[in-house]
Amino acid sequence: MRFTLGFHRSLLVFMTAACACLAAGPALAEPVSLESLLREMVDREALARFPDPPYTCRQFSSYDRASVSPDQPETWFANGDVNQYLRVEEAKGAGGKVRKEWVMADMAGPGAVVRIWSANPKGVMRVYLDGEARPVIEAPMQEVLGGKWKAGDVEVGPPLAQESSRGWNLYLPIPYAKHCKITSDADGFYYQVNYRTYGPQVQVWPLQIPDPDASARLKECTDALLLPREPEISKPHDNLPLLEAIVEAGASVELRLPPGPGAVSTLLMRLGTSDADVLRKLRISAKFDGKVTVSSPVGDFFGCGPGFAALEDRYRRVELPSDGQLTSYWIMPYERDAVVRVNNLGTRATSITLIARTGHYRWDSRSMHFHAAWRGEYPIHALGARGTMDWNYIDIQGKGVYVGDNLAVMNPVPEWWGEGDEKIYIDGETFPSHFGTGTEDYYGYAWCWPVVFQHPFHAQPRCDGNGKNNWGHTSVTRVRALDAIPFEKSLKFDMEVWHWKECDVAYAATTYWYALPGSTSNRLSDEAIAAMTAELKKPIPQPPPLPPPFKIEGAIECEGMQVLAKSDGLPVVPQDMDGYGKKAWSGDSHLWVQGRRVGDFVEVAIPAGDGPEARAARRVTLYATRSWDYGIVRFTVNGKPAGPAEGIDLYSGGRGKVVATGPIELGTFTPVDGRLVLRAEVIGGNAKSEGSRSFFGLDAVVLSPEK
């Protein structure tokens, strides 16, 4: 691989200069390469100038191809977002053996792949560049996306590749000069591929792996993504604009910044209270060069609304309410003047400290203003088990770059609220060039997994379900670097509201973008800000308390059992089942075994109690789950056959159908050392079952005296 600059020196010098004075001169003309893309990934200031060379950003995904037009509402919200590919090809492998390859993405260059996501990566992923028959990447997709892939001395680990809350993300940029094709030799998975396309005159050096120098370059980028942003400001310097005030109810205060041209590199706020309600009742706004470009509740602006939730990503940091410190690292340029204002829309006075780190800035024809806007709505009536509407985040007119968003949801029930897909229209498109596979997929995780996680570019900082369900408040966020979306004339972002349960939910979206002077949006007009203010003055919607979980009498929950053994790499996790109709699963959850092939197995320990009963023979009754992509499973207890010799077919009978099995008698067995060992192994799959036909779910076991 060829490089024009020493990566170690250029990256560190560039980062230091950007943080210190924001006054870097014009970039040297150079080809697009792995090195240049990695430098761009860690350079916040790069987002604030319209890209040079310019590029477009688009997405391939496994969205349901039945979705053709919003004029056909019966299919526009179709939800079969798996097993959808561009085509299936045949390729010859070692020894001339022919294999099938499912094509996820196929794009003409020059360009670069900037993000690959999957909920269930399968097979060997191959990345072919510039018409070469030999792929530049050829490895198990789970390893590549999960941060465990190594080619020679090159190892791509977190955060450039990692699993977060069961979502698998690869942020390694893959440049190509003429063409790129991405395939897998297995099917039945969800995917998204984000990619850039440059103009035909742009020179791109294609990725080469392995490369003797790439390992050090990747490590420096990784370190830069994980380093603390800027030193905390305990005693601000004399030249830092500072505001310390008590903001009375209904009043506002403002902080005027030094005359331009200049830019804010850090905006830090401390609150004199840990009251979560304050984060929604304080509104932050900013006016750059005479135009309001920021208007949002404080908490949502910093990425944690409603209420405090710790967050550490590439552009923001939120610390726990004991400190009450919120920090923004978005670069905010201005040519002449700037002012930051805080309004108190609540009923109580609040003390605040606001500090802005500013520096000189070279304003030119590519310089853009930073924008942030908020929209909240309650109630939104979700229809249940089907798409309800395309809920608009933002509609922008002008020229700029879209760089991120947050979504805060209040969900009154345990069922999953986020089947909806993102739809992003650029420059007047009639069909979105970004059509996703689910709300959580857009935010980098998967399977509606209610577990908090952090990553430099996506996070779930709050989830009241605490690993069990999706009830309560959830906050998710995604910020962009290489996958930022430029637009020349307009950008429209919609998110489907698609809930498994009919109910009233609350949505609040904060969007971030840069735009050249003269742009407009549907969220920052005087009328929109007035509507936002009225919405913020309302009480924050709160979910009702959950009813107690359903319990089968005498049940021992499988999701609480110790996993003694399983197939290598086999995901075995609890899954909330309260969203699948009537209460039928004990504890409202089951143990979900995501088998990939025949032979996959799991062994769990069934506690048999204490005292004499721990040695007495027991009748074992299993409760399990049937679904549309489940397999045929055979059981043993303590190594002896249990249940039907031909196994139990756990296919449910139709796509989307998920039902409880009811009792399955496995036989009578005697505990050993106070426990019974239950083994479940995939031995096949119903011909009508979908996907790998190897998933299954174990709900509970009831032990009763021998008859």
CA–CA separation, 555 and 567 (whole Å): 26
CA–CA separation, 173 and 38 (whole Å): 7
Helix (H) or strand (E) holding 411: strand 400-411
Q: What are phi and psi of 301, to 5 degrees?
A: -60, -40
Question: How confident is the model over 622-631, as a mean pLDDT?
Answer: 96
* Beta carbons within 8 Å of 343's beta carbon, 6+ residues apart: 247, 251, 252, 282, 283, 285, 533
Q: Identify which of 114, 79, 142, 188 has the alpha carbon closest to the alpha carbon of residue 437.
A: 79
273 — pLDDT class (breaks 50, 70, 90): confident
Q: Which residues pair with 681 in a beta bridge?
A: 601, 634
CA–CA separation, 405 and 407 (whole Å): 7
CA dihedral 234→240→332→25, nearest 10 degrees, is -110
According to the model, what pLDDT value does residue 390 have? 98
According to the model, what pLDDT value does residue 681 have? 98
Judge contact between 236 and 325, C-beta under 8 A.
no
- DSSP code, position 549: P
According to the model, what pLDDT value does residue 9 have? 30
According to the model, what pLDDT value does residue 211 have? 75
According to the model, what pLDDT value does residue 580 have? 78
When the pLDDT of each residue in the chain is averaged and rounded to a whole number, the result is 91
Q: Which ranges in 389-485 belong to alpha helices (H)?
A: 439-442
336 — pLDDT class (breaks 50, 70, 90): very high
The architecture that CATH gives domain 242-536 is: Sandwich (2.60)
504: pLDDT strictly greater than 90? yes
> Two tokens at 456?
């430099």
Note the pLDDT tens digit of each residue in 161-196: 999 999 999 999 999 999 999 999 999 999 999 999
Question: How confident is the model over 540-554, as a mean pLDDT?
Answer: 92
CA–CA separation, 432 and 411 (whole Å): 27
- DSSP code, position 415: S
CA–CA separation, 114 and 198 (whole Å): 13
> Two tokens at 443?
């935010």
Q: Are strands 179-184 and 98-108 parallel, antiparallel or unpaired?
A: antiparallel
Scan for tokens 């998933």, then name that residue. Answer: 695
Judge contact between 306 and 221, C-beta under 8 A.
no
According to the model, what pLDDT value does residue 322 have? 63
Question: How confident is the model over 454-477, as a mean pLDDT?
Answer: 94
CA–CA separation, 444 and 432 (whole Å): 19
Lowest mean per-residue pLDDT among 123-137, 233-247, 458-472: 233-247
According to the model, what pLDDT value does residue 228 have? 62
Judge contact between 586 and 550, C-beta under 8 A.
yes
> Two tokens at 275?
């009251």
According to the model, what pLDDT value does residue 704 have? 94
18 or 248: which leads in pLDDT: 248
3: pLDDT strictly greater than 80? no
Helix (H) or strand (E) holding 84: none
Judge contact between 354 and 340, C-beta under 8 A.
yes
According to the model, what pLDDT value does residue 612 have? 76
Domain extents in the chain: 7-226, 242-536, 555-705
Rounded to an integer, what is the distance from CA 479 to the centroid of its chain?
A: 10
13: pLDDT strictly greater than 60? no
586: pLDDT strictly greater than 80? yes
Q: Identify which of 118, 156, 313 has the alpha carbon closest to the alpha carbon of residue 228.
A: 313
Q: What is the pTM of this model?
A: 0.83
Scan for tokens 């399968």, then name that residue. Answer: 122
For the 7-226 domain, the top CATH level (class) is: mainly beta
Q: How much of the chain, in percent, has pLDDT values that exceed 90?
A: 79
CA–CA separation, 249 and 227 (whole Å): 38
Rounded to an integer, what is the distance from CA 178 to the centroid of its chain?
A: 30
* Beta carbons within 8 Å of 142's beta carbon, 6+ residues apart: 121, 122, 148, 168, 569
Q: Identify which of 16, 22, 707 has the alpha carbon closest to the alpha carbon of residue 362.
A: 22
Supply the CATH classification number for the domain 555-705.
Answer: 2.60.120.260
5: pLDDT strictly greater than 50? no
| Number of C-beta neighbours around residue 134 at 10 A | 8
Domain 555-705 in the same topology as domain 7-226: yes
CA dist 557 → 231, 416, 486, 589 (Å): 48, 22, 50, 9
Q: Which residues pair with 353 in a beta bridge?
A: 244, 270
238: pLDDT strictly greater than 90? no
Q: How much of the chain, in percent, has pLDDT values that exceed 70?
A: 93
223: pLDDT strictly greater than 60? yes
245: pLDDT strictly greater than 50? yes
277: pLDDT strictly greater than 60? yes
> Two tokens at 595?
């088998």
